[in-house]
Amino acid sequence: MEPRIDLVVDHALLPPMRWPADFAGDPEWRRTPEQQRAYEAAIDSADALYGIPDVDPAALARAVRANPRLRWVHTMAAGGGGQVRAAGLNDEELDRVAFTTSAGVHGRPLAEFAVFGVLAGAKHLHRLQRQQRAREWTGRWPMGQVSRQTVLVLGLGGIGRAVTASLHALGATVVGANRSGSTVPGVDEMVHPDRLADAAPAVDAVVNTLPGTDASEHLLGKEFFTALKPGCTLVNVGRGSVVDEAALLDALDSGRVGFAVLDVFETEPLPARSPLWEHERVLVSPHTAALDASEDRRIAELFAANATRLLDDQGLLNRVDTVEFY
């Protein structure tokens, strides 16, 4: 840890973690009124916060407004910009406080899950599971080869770059989509996000790594799914808001999407009434693909590196864009 910072933490004021990086903690745990006053007093005396208080945008707004000395808030999520946006801070507050995210920490775990999803679609995991449950031994059928597939990767930030590198190593042809047009190693072709429907007919799988912004909301909707060739695999490790789930269900029923591997959803937890739970060609992951045992340590290392940069008047890593909030 950066030796020039005074790290104040009282675990008695924090909800117990149920698993690594469970920053929200046990939802049944409650502070006493005295503990709540002590918790807010500590927050209101800080120059920087390691995490959004209680992972709650309303608590973040309270902290920013109650503490004029607050200079920096580090969010634990790679997509922490969405939490900052939800706090409803005004322009002066957004200018006064720097917000950073944990982007990059989750790149490798999410890349592995994305590759798993692409492979699961190519190897017809849903059919194998169905036949095994039915004890059904059918005739043989050809499976897809990722090395012969074209995969569209939406977003070429830290997660997208890790996904691209992994798919490239497997021999896939990778089409990358971002608004800047800047290329990265392993990308064979670039497409602007506004032209996704033009690229859709040529791809065998789609991996979304985009954050949730106004520009990305329902980017994968009816027009895109209609343009896909039948049997395409969809993997979502970005944000649930990027995929129009009603349009996705139509695409699954029509066969345009042959298999969907989803770690994120428009509403989380995924409502029990959602048809996605029971669709035989959907694999539901409860937003757990990014988690591994070393996540706490890697986030702490990122925070320490940024603390050094702040104290040395250098630009912060992963600073939130407070216009688009990513």
Return the bridge partners of 155, or none.
Answer: none
For residues 229 and 202, give the distance between their C-alpha atoms in angstroms, rounded to a whole number.
7
| Beta-sheet pairing, 72-74 with 98-100 | parallel
Please report which helix (H) or strand (E) contains residue 93, including its range: helix 91-96
Q: Cα separations (Å) of 193 from 96, 178, 187, 206, 244?
A: 32, 6, 15, 13, 15
Please report which helix (H) or strand (E) contains residue 232, including its range: strand 232-236
Catalytic pick from 4, 69, 268, 280?
A: 268
| Token pair of 24 as six digits | 């929200």
The reply to whether 130 belongs to the active site is: no
The reply to whether 279 belongs to the active site is: no
Catalytic pick from 287, 298, 309, 319?
A: 287
- Supply the DSSP symbol for 287: S
- Rounded to a whole number of angstroms, the CA Rg of the chain reads 21
For residues 289 and 112, give the distance between their C-alpha atoms in angstroms, rounded to a whole number.
9
Catalytic pick from 85, 124, 239, 256?
A: 239
Burial class of residue 34 in the structure, from the number of CB atoms within 10 Å of its CB (0-12 exposed, 13-18 middle, 19+ buried) = exposed
Q: Cα separations (Å) of 297 from 19, 105, 246?
A: 14, 10, 38
Query: What type of residue sits at position 292?
Result: D
Q: Token match 């591994």: residue?
A: 292
For residues 79 and 320, give the distance between their C-alpha atoms in angstroms, rounded to a whole number.
9
Count of C-beta atoms within a 10 Å radius of residue 109? 19
Q: What string of DSSP letters covers 100-115?
A: E--TTTTHHHHHHHHH
Q: Are 85 and 61 in contact (CB under 8 A)?
A: no
The reply to whether 161 belongs to the active site is: no
Query: What type of residue sits at position 161?
Result: R
Catalytic residue positions?
Answer: 239, 268, 287
